[in-house]
Structure 1
C-alpha cells in the first residue's frame, strides 16, 4: 500500500523564547520487509540556525535543531510518500512462554535490535506487581509467547477505555491501568509493562495509523493523529511482532512506523529546552492518504 503522509505540529509561545533547542524524531526511514520511504521532507519554520540529522542508538532518524535568537512560534511540517508492505501470514512458531527465557539466553548480541534492551524497566515504564498479575490472568497453562502477547493485548482493549482527557504525556502506566482509561500511549505503556512482567521483551512503536471515515461521510483532512503500539520479541523463529492494544489487532498495512524504542521517551516526536517567561499552545494535524484515493 502506497501512502502520502503529512504531519503538521505548531507551537505558539506566550512570550518569545530565547535559545531554543529541540530533538526531533519525525522522519520515517526504510524498514526491510516492512516499509520503504519513497520521498520525505521535514520543513521547519522559522529556519533553525543549527540543524544536524543522524540516527540514535535504535536506528531512528533524529534531527537536532537550535535557534540563538528569540522565536514566538514554531511550525514543523513533514511530507512523505511511503510504501507499506503486506505482512507475511503470522503462524505461531513461538515457544511456550515458560521456555522463552531459554531462547533469550541464547541471544549473545547487544545490538540495537537485541531483545535484552527491552526486558527490564525503562524510564517511562516501571514494572508493576498489579499489572504483572493482570497479565498472568489473561491466559492459561501452556500458552505460547505469541499467544500471551495476543491475549494481553486483547484483554487491555476489552478492559481499558480510550479517553484523551484522562491522562497526559507524563502519566505513568500504573496510574492509567488503575483508572482503566487513557490514550494509545497509555495502552502501549501498560501492555509493555505487562509483557515485561511475564518475561516477554517489549518496546514502543511510534508512527501513523490510517483511519477511515464513517460510512457515507467524506474523509476529513487533518483528522488522523500520531499513534503508538507495541512490539514484542517472541523467540528466535518469529523475532519481533507488533500488536496494537488500542485497536485490538496486529499491525498491518494501515500502520506506518516513525521509530521504536523502550518507551515513549525514546521516540518522542519533539523534545527540547527553551528559555521563556510564558506558556505555549500546541496543535497537531496528520493526514495518511492512500495514493490511489488521491488519483481517483
Structure 2
C-alpha cells in the first residue's frame, strides 16, 4: 500500500520563510525564540539552513531542545520599529516506508512498547496529555469507529485521518491560535493546527503514541498557471508510532492522506506549544502588523550544497 501524496523516492527543496513585524511605536527591547530550521532526521536531510535577523541582534544563541528541534534565541536591545526574520533552507525529503512490503502490525499490539526498546521513553510520553491536548472519552468514542479489533495500524490510522477530513470543515475564520482542542472538536471546524490536535487527541485516547509535526507543504498550481512565489504555507500534521519497522507514520488530516514527499517537516513536539515557529516578548511597540511569506521550491538534483554544520537529528 502506498498512498503518499507524492511517491517519488526523494525530492529536494529550497524553502524560504520570511517573517516581518512593523510597529506603530518604538520597541525598546525584544526577546524571541525561533523554530523554523529543519534538522536531519527521519526522512529529511538538511543540507543547508541559514537564518538572518534585522536589526542585528544584541545577543544570539542556539540550542537543540528536548525534542531535537533547532532553536535560535535572540534579543535586540536597541530602539527599532521593525523586525525581520528570514530563514532559507535546502532539504531533501524521502518517502515514508509504507509500501506493501512493510509489515503493518495490528494496532492493539502498539498499546505498549517493548521494555527492551531503548526509544521507549520518547515514545511513551506521547501517549498522554499535553498542554493543548487532553485525551478523553469523547475522543475515544469518535476514534473507535476506525480502530476495530485486529485492524492494522496503517489502515486504522488512515481511516481516522479521512474521517476527520470528511467530518470537519476547513475554515480559517472558525478558530484562532488560542482555540482549544476540545473547542475545535465541538465546532467540527478549524485549520491544520486544529485538525492535527483533534487527531492526536483521538489517537492518544485509544492508548497510542502520537505527536505533532510542524513544517511546510508544497502546493501545486492549477494546470497552466505559474507557481506563485510566497504562496506556500506553514502546515501541521500528525505522526503515530506504528511499530519498530515503520517507526513514526505521518498522517495529514487536513488533506486526508499519508504524509508524502510534498511534506517538509521542521519541528516535532507534543502539540503546537512545543513547536510554534516564533514566540517572544517586546517592550513598547504599540500596535503591530505581521506579514509572513513561505516559498517552497523544488530544485534539481544536480544542484549541490555543502552539509550544514550543526544539523542535528530530530528523531
With the shorter chain as reference, the TM-score category is over 0.9
Matched, 1:238 2:246: yes
Match of 1:66 among 72, 75, 78: 75
| 1:72 Cα offset (Å) | 1.6
1:96 is matched with which residue? Answer: 106
Partners in 2 of 1:233 and 1:140 — Cα distance?
18
Task: Give 2:290's aligned residue.
Answer: 282
Deviations along 1:150-206, one digit per CA (max 9) or x if unpaired, are: 121111011111111111111111111111111111110000001000011101001
CA drift at 1:254? 0.8
2:84 aligns to what? Answer: 75
Which of residues 75, 78, 95 in structure 2 aligns to 1:86? 95
For residues 46-80 of structure 1, what are the alpha-carbon distances to aligned partners after superposition, in whole Å with 9 as ceiling and x for unaligned? Answer: 11111001100111000000012232211111111
Counterpart check, 1:17 vs 2:17: no
Kept in 2, the 8 Å contact 1:94–1:234? The answer is yes
Following the alignment from structure 1 to structure 2, what is the Cα–Cα distance between the partners of residues 87 and 96?
19
Partner of 2:313: none
Cross-structure match for 1:273: 281
Question: Counterpart of 2:150 in 1: which secondary structure?
Answer: coil
Cα drift, residue 9 of structure 1: 0.8
Q: Deviations over 1:17-67 (max 9, x none)?
A: 2221111101111115x1222221111111111100110011100000001
Question: Residue by residue, what CA displacement relative to the aligned partner does 1:209-236 show, whole Å, maximum 9, x if unpaired?
Answer: 1000111111111111111000111223
**C-alpha separation in 2, matches of 1:54 and 1:75:** 21
Given that 2:23 and 2:289 are in contact with CA atoms closer than 8 Å, whether structure 1 keeps it comes out as yes
The alignment's TM-score, normalised by the length of structure 2, stands at 0.87
* SS in structure 2 of the partner of residue 271 of structure 1: strand
Aligned ranges for residues 226-265 of structure 1 at < 5 Å? 226-265=234-273
Instruction: Give the gaps of 5 or more residues in structure 2.
Output: 1-10, 304-315
Query: For residue 220 of structure 1, what is the aligned residue in structure 2?
Result: 228
Partner of 1:178: 186
In the TM superposition, what is the alpha-carbon distance from 1:146 to its structure 2 partner? 2.7
CA deviations over 1:110-158 (Å, ceiling 9, x no partner): 65xx211201000011223222211112343322233321121111011
Secondary structure of the corresponding residue to residue 111 of structure 2: helix
SS in 2 for 1:103: coil
Q: How many residues end up aligned between the 2 structures?
A: 292
Unaligned 5+ segments in structure 1 are none
Q: Which residue in 2 is equivalent to 1:48?
A: 57
Give the conservation status (yes or no) of the 8 Å contact 1:244–1:251: yes
1:260-287, Cα deviation, whole Å (9 max, x unpaired) = 0101111111011122262222111111
- With a CA cutoff of 8 Å and minimum separation of 6, indicate the structure with the bigger relative contact order: 2
Give the secondary-structure state (helix, strand or coil) at the position aligned to 2:91. Answer: strand
1:136 corresponds to which residue? 144
